[in-house]
Chains A and B, each alone.
Chain A
Amino acid sequence: MTMAARLKAPGWYRAALGLIIGFGVGMGIDVGLRALYGWHPLVDWTAIVTVGLISSPFGFLIGIGCFDYWFRWASGAPTVPEDHSGHGARSWRDYFRVNTDHKVIGLQYICTTFFFFVVGGVMAMVMRAELAAPGTQFISPNTFNGLFSVHASLMIFLFIIPVFAGIANYVIPLMIGAPDMAFPRLNALSYWLLPIGGIIMLLSFLAPGGSFSTGWTAYAPLSTHMPLGQTFFNIAIQFAGASSIATALNFLVTIITMRAPGMTFWRMPLLVWANFTTSLLVVIATPFIAGSQFFVLFDRTLGTHFFDPSRSGDVLMYQHVFWFYSHPAVYIMMLPGFGIVSEVISTHARKPIFGYRMMAFSLMAIVVLGFTVWAHHMFVSGMFPWLRVPMMLTTMLIAVPTGIKIFSWLATLWRGVIHLRTPLLFALGFITMFTLGGISGIMLAVIPFDIHVSDTYFVVAHIHYVLFGGSVFTIFAGIYHWFPKMTGRMYDETLGRIHFWLSFVFFNLTFGPMHLVGIDGMPRRVADYAHQYATLNAIISISAFIFGLSFLVFVYNIVASWRHGPLAEGNRRRADRGRRPIRVRGAGSGARGVQGEGTGGRRVRSHGRHDRMSAQPHRILVVANETVGGRALIETVKRRAEEAHERGEPFEVTVICPQNEPRSGYVIYEDSVRKAAENRLATTLGQLREVGIEADGEVMDPDPYSATMDAIATYGADEIIISTHPGTRSGWLRRDLIDRVREDSGLPVEHLVVDLDADRAHMTRTLVVANQTVGGGPLIELLKRKGTEGPHNFVVILPQGEGGEHGDAEARLAHTLDLLHGAGLEAVGQVMDPDPFTAVQNALQFYPADEIVVSTFPDERSGWLRSHLIERIKASTSKPVEHVVVTAEQAREGATA
């Protein structure tokens, strides 16, 4: 390629040229305006640098190619449409170009932000070296001021906020089943704006007078009187902020308009919810920090008087505007982490998240409350005194939704099948550390305490407990969790654990003691301190160095694993460029919202299904829940089948069975609910088989409307039969289910009312409760006798033993069902809650029953009888209860029969 061609094509050569031209244009504007107004000196480098900092990044962006498409569009020239296929990265060089693929951009974000994380971390190490002993060691106080300011700014604006955007960029389109983000070119632009902000912050060290040294808060009027370095901060924030707003807007539009079919808002994974709410915060709040930095910039460069009280300006206004962004910003830095932790915990406990809806609502509550607490940062500023107490109260109130989340995570872990791998370790570390940070946050909300520790190391400790122990731990959890997805390779588990334990222990040794020196009154943001704090500070510094080194373990692990790690299982990253059709299952069940066809999802499939005939079969979709075994339903399906048969049409019957939503107040495991639905379904399929109809079936989402529409999309349907209880009993009818399905599907819908009580004459339904005694002779005999008396349908429930021998229980149940089936009886069964009384109560929710049979050991051996089980069941229900005694010997025989 010739040099001229290189300079024309988008890329780094043109970017360098653009940078130079941009700076030249800025300089020209500045000198030109000064000449126009006749100001002296004509060439003022402070002014030129200020304008150049704004103009040259635009030159760079144009040069690297962010605007090429838009320029063609704007001039009416033909544009090349993007089809989102194969525009990912093929070599490492592609990561250094403007690329519109969300996965490439995600990795660009993550790598860039980790670069700034390292730079900010090194600054922290230098500061700790200086603070290892009282007095001046290595750096001047002014450099120290610059270091802590740039450290905080980089960590907040160039690491935590954008790294979450990076992870979300990678993961969210995959989770919601979108081919890419809604605005891929805007997405690329928002990425490229980001490093500009970071580099400007770092360049500020070269400015005369040193880097900006006002802390990341840059309070006026301090910031309006600082040397040139402060201008770098003002402008860098604008670029980082614009990047952040553009990304947030993109996420919102993507999440609202591009979800996969069937993925309603209440089925989105919690990470998607978290980024949705975060993006709302960003779009609404970030313009305020832009405003505050504009004010400072204008006061510094144009001589305006926003903050000059002698000319009617208002100094405190800065803090109000600044914190109106920066308090919501702490939630911008935390909510995506909440989302990551929800995914990680749910996956590693192999359980859906507990309280899904409440988790989403609490996110929304944090968004709303987040805007009402900003002035708690200003208790000592001399603001309106009446504002203090309301701000204290709202601050404490915001701990409530956060507490809900903590307890939901714990409840998700409870009785989960816990896989204690690195991502979960970091998630657990997050829960403990964030709770500690939250508690010190509540302490700081209390006005008198806040006044006491204001501007001390207590605040430093608090912010690091919530931002490192909180946010950064979730980032590590997320990176380890999705590392195989992103790279196709596994990280080293042992190194991951070493990384966790080193950082967890030394994090606490570093920031824990800061609480103590803070309460003692050691001021933050000062390079020197009194001798009384020497010992603790030495400990802090040594811990901080080890803490810093622990990061090297992470870097080594990631780099080495990325290059040579073992291939991750089930990795189809290269193969599935053209993603398969997707469908959504299960209400917000955490980890995987969207799955490829043919993975997961339990489906009851009856054997010996018709071979597909050449004509398009007539597809009948049956939707039924508790009424699934009802006689009227079976007969209707049979009649339909016969009609189709007479017309000579082949037909297919699919039965879908939305799971129950347990009545509120009942604590029932999701597995039990699902198992019960599968049992009801199996019964129905069996009954259909008896009348000669082979049918397919599936247990689906609890919401009957979504379940029906999903089934139509999955299986197709020519007609729909919806079976419900009679009007007064049916929750479905109350929700206009029939009309909604008829309207939205445009298919004929038959509504079938099944009165289960009327069916009783036809068949008696018996609930059998037994544990060890389940295969025992007397019990089986009794059931067989009942079977000969008239048509019976048995449901056997096995309250699982306290010892957790779930497998044994399943085996006993299967054995018993075999015995009953062998005797020609219709029976299904389920292992349920360990407490027999609870199990019976739950079973009565799932299975309609006319009578109950309880089987136990004789009096002296039976714990059930000792706890008055029979009496309690009798008291709780009007149904007849029978009691069968089985001796231990009979039970043993039964088990081997």
Chain B
Amino acid sequence: MESASVAVEHAAEHEHHGPPPANRSSRVEAQFLGMLLFIISEVMLFGSFFTAYFFIRVVGHAHWPATGTKLPVAVAGVNTAILVSSSLTMHWALLSAKNENRFGMRAGLASTFLLGVTFLTVQINEYVHVGFAPHDHAQGTIFYGLTGLHGAHVFVGLNLLLFATIRAFRGHFNAKEHRGVEVPGIYWHFVDVMWIVVYTTIYVI
């Protein structure tokens, strides 16, 4: 594989007959912009779930939480703190990558990943003990809907982090090439911010 890719590059140097390289017509990087647009569409997906929440709780005047149930505000609060701190470690990883600090980058990515896993475990544990199911009532439906949708995003984010971590441990990324840390990082910060919104609307208000 290694030799094949070298051979390809070699050939490309000598008889490069492709079109000229693309012109950069914007200061924004393509990968960055792509992730930003993806996040916009993700925000809208959350928006549709929040619309359901709005119709059930505000328009339909449903009891919140449903009569006879209680939401574990404190536990979820601790979980929020875990997720917020994972954003900090993510930022540390990116800074380290930019400063050629390999240990910092690896440790930052790994700890972010572990914090994310912790968050998801706590969330699942909460599902087991919360005392109602999605099919009990619409409040349960939208509670599981929103937290579950967010959980799915955490899961996707964890996958991206896993890829970045594997690459970091296999020697990729440096001060010049750290897009593979930066772009998953943006996604992770989005997941984090989205959780704060979900936590506020579902648990606090």
Contacts of B28 in A (CB 8 A): 256-257
Q: Using a CB-CB cutoff of 8 Å, which residues 202-254 of chain A contact chain B?
A: 245, 249-250, 252-253
Known: A74-B163, A83-B16, A183-B34. A257 touches B141 (CB 8 A): no
1/0 per position for A256-291, CB-CB distance to B under 8 A? 111111010000000000000000000111111011
Closest to B163 in A: A74
Contact of B170 among A76, A79, A81, A314 (CB under 8 A): A76
**Does A73 belong to the interface (CB within 8 Å)?**
yes
Inter-subunit contact A304/B52 (CB<8 Å): no
Inter-subunit contact A317/B34 (CB<8 Å): no
**Does B59 belong to the interface (CB within 8 Å)?**
yes
Interface residues of B, Cβ cutoff 8 Å to A: 1-2, 4-5, 8-9, 12, 16-26, 28-30, 33-34, 37-38, 40-42, 44-45, 47-49, 51-52, 55-56, 59-60, 62-63, 66, 134-142, 144-145, 162-163, 166-167, 169-172
Smallest beta-carbon distance B147→chain A, Å: 13
Inter-subunit contact A302/B134 (CB<8 Å): yes
1/0 per position for A73-108, CB-CB distance to B under 8 A? 111111111011110000000000000000000000
Inter-subunit contact A80/B163 (CB<8 Å): no
Inter-subunit contact A179/B51 (CB<8 Å): no
Smallest beta-carbon distance B150→chain A, Å: 14
Inter-subunit contact B135/A303 (CB<8 Å): yes
5 CB contacts below 8 A, A to B, read: A74-B167, A182-B34, A257-B29, A257-B30, A292-B48
Contacts of B4 in A (CB 8 A): 80
Residues of B contacting A: mostly? helix
**Does A311 belong to the interface (CB within 8 Å)?**
yes
Closest to B64 in A: A312
4 tightest A-B contacts by CB? A291-B48, A85-B18, A76-B170, A303-B135
A76 to B167 alpha-carbon distance, docked (Å): 5
A312 to B139 alpha-carbon distance, docked (Å): 7
Which among B5, B16, B41, B59 has the greatest number of chain A C-beta atoms within 10 A? B41
Closest to B62 in A: A312
Inter-subunit contact B37/A283 (CB<8 Å): yes
Which among B28, B40, B42, B172 has the greatest number of chain A C-beta atoms within 10 A? B40
Known: A257-B33, A298-B134, A298-B141. A284 touches B25 (CB 8 A): no
A290 to B52 alpha-carbon distance, docked (Å): 13
Inter-subunit contact B47/A287 (CB<8 Å): yes
A835 to B102 alpha-carbon distance, docked (Å): 77
**Does A65 belong to the interface (CB within 8 Å)?**
no
**Does A746 belong to the interface (CB within 8 Å)?**
no
Contacts of A497 in B (CB 8 A): none
Inter-subunit contact B60/A314 (CB<8 Å): yes
Inter-subunit contact B51/A249 (CB<8 Å): no
Contacts of A306 in B (CB 8 A): 52, 56, 138, 141-142, 145
Inter-subunit contact A85/B19 (CB<8 Å): yes
**Does A658 belong to the interface (CB within 8 Å)?**
no
Inter-subunit contact A253/B51 (CB<8 Å): no
Smallest beta-carbon distance B167→chain A, Å: 4
Closest to B159 in A: A74
Inter-subunit contact B48/A288 (CB<8 Å): yes
Q: How large is the interface on A (under 10, 10 to 19, 20 to 34, 35 or more residues)?
A: 35 or more
Inter-subunit contact A77/B1 (CB<8 Å): yes
1/0 per position for A296-333, CB-CB distance to B under 8 A? 00100011111010011110110011001000000000
Contact of A79 among B5, B20, B38, B56 (CB under 8 A): B5
Inter-subunit contact A253/B52 (CB<8 Å): no
**Does A577 belong to the interface (CB within 8 Å)?**
yes
Smallest beta-carbon distance B57→chain A, Å: 9
Inter-subunit contact B137/A312 (CB<8 Å): yes
Inter-subunit contact B44/A284 (CB<8 Å): yes
Which among B5, B25, B137, B144 has the greatest number of chain A C-beta atoms within 10 A? B25
Smallest beta-carbon distance A402→chain B, Å: 25
Closest to A179 in B: B19
Known: A73-B163, A303-B135, A305-B137. A260 touches B44 (CB 8 A): no
Known: A283-B37, A284-B40, A304-B134. A313 touches B18 (CB 8 A): no
A324 to B51 alpha-carbon distance, docked (Å): 11
Closest to B137 in A: A311
**Does A60 belong to the interface (CB within 8 Å)?**
no
**Does A58 belong to the interface (CB within 8 Å)?**
no
**Does A177 belong to the interface (CB within 8 Å)?**
yes
A702 to B2 alpha-carbon distance, docked (Å): 53
Residues of A contacting B: mostly? loop
Contacts of B48 in A (CB 8 A): 287-288, 290-292, 321, 324
Contact of A78 among B2, B38, B55, B62 (CB under 8 A): B2
Smallest beta-carbon distance A381→chain B, Å: 13
Inter-subunit contact B19/A579 (CB<8 Å): yes
Contact of B51 among A77, A303, A320 (CB under 8 A): A320
Contact of B41 among A83, A257, A286 (CB under 8 A): A286
Which among B23, B26, B172 has the greatest number of chain A C-beta atoms within 10 A? B23
A261 to B23 alpha-carbon distance, docked (Å): 6
Contacts of A579 in B (CB 8 A): 19-20
Smallest beta-carbon distance B174→chain A, Å: 14
Q: Using a CB-CB cutoff of 8 Å, which residues 577-607 of chain A contact chain B?
A: 577-579, 581
A292 to B48 alpha-carbon distance, docked (Å): 7
**Does A364 belong to the interface (CB within 8 Å)?**
no
Inter-subunit contact A317/B51 (CB<8 Å): yes
Smallest beta-carbon distance B95→chain A, Å: 22
1/0 per position for A643-683, CB-CB distance to B under 8 A? 00000000000000000000000000000000000000000
A811 to B16 alpha-carbon distance, docked (Å): 51
**Does A295 belong to the interface (CB within 8 Å)?**
yes
Inter-subunit contact B23/A253 (CB<8 Å): no
Contacts of B56 in A (CB 8 A): 306, 312-314, 317
**Does A519 belong to the interface (CB within 8 Å)?**
no
Smallest beta-carbon distance A821→chain B, Å: 45
**Does A709 belong to the interface (CB within 8 Å)?**
no
**Does A171 belong to the interface (CB within 8 Å)?**
no
Contacts of A291 in B (CB 8 A): 45, 47-49, 51-52
Smallest beta-carbon distance A705→chain B, Å: 16
Inter-subunit contact A305/B135 (CB<8 Å): yes
**Does A895 belong to the interface (CB within 8 Å)?**
no
Known: A178-B22, A295-B52, A321-B48. A80 touches B34 (CB 8 A): no
Contacts of B166 in A (CB 8 A): 74-76
Contacts of A84 in B (CB 8 A): 18-19
A302 to B136 alpha-carbon distance, docked (Å): 11
Inter-subunit contact A314/B59 (CB<8 Å): yes
Smallest beta-carbon distance A508→chain B, Å: 39
Inter-subunit contact B141/A305 (CB<8 Å): yes
Closest to A309 in B: B60
Contact of A85 among B16, B25, B42 (CB under 8 A): B16
Inter-subunit contact B24/A257 (CB<8 Å): yes
Smallest beta-carbon distance B76→chain A, Å: 21
Contacts of A288 in B (CB 8 A): 44-45, 47-48, 51
Inter-subunit contact B20/A179 (CB<8 Å): yes
Inter-subunit contact A258/B134 (CB<8 Å): no
Inter-subunit contact A256/B33 (CB<8 Å): yes
Contacts of A250 in B (CB 8 A): 34
Inter-subunit contact B23/A287 (CB<8 Å): no
Inter-subunit contact A305/B16 (CB<8 Å): no
A286 to B41 alpha-carbon distance, docked (Å): 8
Closest to B27 in A: A257
Smallest beta-carbon distance A40→chain B, Å: 17
Closest to A177 in B: B23
A821 to B166 alpha-carbon distance, docked (Å): 79
Contacts of B144 in A (CB 8 A): 304
Inter-subunit contact B55/A316 (CB<8 Å): yes
Contacts of B18 in A (CB 8 A): 83-86, 179, 577-578
Contact of B134 among A256, A292, A303 (CB under 8 A): A303
A317 to B172 alpha-carbon distance, docked (Å): 48
A252 to B40 alpha-carbon distance, docked (Å): 13
Smallest beta-carbon distance B172→chain A, Å: 6
Contacts of B47 in A (CB 8 A): 287-288, 291
A81 to B13 alpha-carbon distance, docked (Å): 13
